[in-house]
Amino acid sequence: MKILDTFDILASLGEGGRLSSRLDHFEPRQAQLGLMELIIRCFNENSLGAAEAGTGVGKSFAYLIPAVYFASQAKERVIISTATITLQRQLFDKDIPFVLDVLKLKIKAVLVKGRGNYLCLRRLEEAVSENELIDEGREDLLRVSEWAQTSKTGERDEIAFSLSDNLWSKICSDSDLCMGKHCPLHGHCFITILRRQAAAAKIIVVNHHLLFADLAARREGAGYETAVVLPPYSRVIIDEAHTIEKTATSFLSKEFSKLGILRHLGRLYRKRKGGLLVSFCSFLSAQDNSLDLLARSLEKIRKAAAELEDPALELCETENVFRFSPTRINPAAQRTLFPLLLALKKKLLAFNEKITALMKNMHHEDHENPVIWELNSILRRFESIALICESFINYKNRPEEVMWLERTGKGNPRIVFTQSPVDISHSLKEGLFEPNKTVICV
């Protein structure tokens, strides 16, 4: 059954049409109408579509007009994904309001950015309570606290004063540290509020990173019928689609770094500030030596992660990247790096086993405790890092993936260990093109 009237929609952008008559210096473009006709077909026929539209074609209106008509008439959600913030803002601030106004359509549109753009109230509260920042940072933190009381979105772009990236990284939303519904501030959470708005919207504008974060989670088991990063959908328009291979590869990849491990260790235990393990042992009424044993286990992880850095940096000495190849055996890596990766893997899993053993006698309802929930989240991350270590050690037996080290940072360089698929076509087919009724790549 065709939902969209091709002739009527094409006429709206043809000469003398409802939109064209409102555009200054409008000139009919056959390529634009041809692209719009293709997109209408994709919506009507539940099809996949791809089109190359060069500069001057007017692709934004070519897909926006069918998208808003479809969202209005079929009552279905349409995701529009772009690569650049500039295009996102143009679509959301200018093009979508214009199209909806001219066509007299009333549907809700929402712009959703990645987590890192939004303030986390719990992390802000913790940063303020720690009271250890230098004077300048402390003053900025208090200004953020004051701003947060009146902000409706919690979005960094709203902040009217300059804020360092380092300070923002301590208080922004972070998927590794998010407690979700277990967070004591969940009811006031900016991400939660944004997701409610997105759930009520029929047009959602996102970037490719957010789209593929959502698709990766769905493909890993979250499913396509529930809200994950985004609410459920089955219609997707991907603008600037020539960039999605790189973005998709990054979300199908796995990585870890010493810095990331240290961040989790700091979350678990800090001598002066406590941490999750202190709350965990208190919650279990564990014996005094349990905390000491766990703290020593964390110190072993810290040492193992630190010992990886120097030999990894040496492998990247001539270039910033060192790739492991089944056809190029590197004795230095096998001699120095692999034993250290094995040691880190063992220490991560040993810590997980200790925590799991302490949790064995917990009641089922105890697992809903915010401390236990966040602790389990870190355990899953440690298990993931252990698996990456194992993959590096056995890289010769994994021809479908590539492993590499990358040196990042200038003054204090650090190493990121990354494991990536060689070919993402099957994953894209399975995760994006097959589950959705309409996917349009422009």
Token pair belonging to 362:
């917990």
Contact (Cβ atoms closer than 8 angstroms) between residue 418 and residue 403: yes
pLDDT tens digit string along 303-358? 999 999 999 988 887 788 988 887 766 777 778 899 999 999 999 999 999 999 98
Percentage of the chain surpassing pLDDT 90?
Answer: 54
pLDDT tier, 238 (very low <50, low <70, confident <90, very high otherwise): very high
From CA 419, how far away is CA 395, in angstroms rounded? 9
Q: What is the pLDDT of residue 134?
A: 46
More confident site: 74 or 17: 74
pLDDT tens digit string along 10-32? 998 888 888 888 888 778 889 99
Whether the per-residue pLDDT at 195 is higher than 70: the answer is: yes
Beta-ladder partners of 418: 255, 404
Q: What is the pLDDT of residue 131?
A: 58
More confident site: 170 or 342: 342
Q: What is the pLDDT of residue 85?
A: 85
Q: What is the pLDDT of residue 218?
A: 86
pLDDT tier, 35 (very low <50, low <70, confident <90, very high otherwise): very high
Token pair belonging to 90:
């143009």
User: Which residue in 8, 140, 166, 18 sits closest to 73, CA to CA?
Assistant: 8
Q: Which amino acid is at 20?
A: S
pLDDT tier, 136 (very low <50, low <70, confident <90, very high otherwise): low
Mean residue pLDDT across the chain: 88
From CA 175, how far away is CA 107, in angstroms rounded? 30
Q: What is the pLDDT of residue 220?
A: 77
**Range 165-178 burial, b when 16+ CB lie within 10 A, else e:** eebbebbbbeeebb
Q: What is the pLDDT of residue 409?
A: 79
Alpha-carbon torsion angle 315, 321, 325, 329, nearest 10: -10
pLDDT tens digit string along 79-101? 999 998 889 999 999 999 999 99
Q: How many CB atoms lie within 10 A of CB 24?
A: 4
Q: Which residues contact 436 (CB under 8 A, 6 or more apart)?
A: 233, 234, 235, 236
pLDDT tens digit string along 390-442? 999 999 888 889 999 999 877 788 899 999 999 999 989 999 999 999 999 99
Q: How many CB atoms lie within 10 A of CB 294?
A: 21
More confident site: 279 or 343: 343
Q: What is the pLDDT of residue 288?
A: 60
DSSP string for residues in 64-133: HHHHHHHHHHH---EEEEES-HHHHHIIIIIIHHHHHHHHT----EEE---GGGBB-HHHHHHHHHH--S
Q: What are phi and psi of 203, to 5 degrees?
A: -120, 120
Percentage of the chain surpassing pLDDT 70?
Answer: 96
> Domains in the chain, start-ordered, CATH in brackets?
6-108+201-249+426-441 (3.40.50.300), 116-191 (no CATH), 254-408 (no CATH)
Q: Which residues contact 274 (CB under 8 A, 6 or more apart)?
A: none
Q: H-helix or E-strand containing 403?
A: strand 401-408
Query: What residue has token string 């209005």?
Result: 72
Q: What is the pLDDT of residue 273?
A: 66
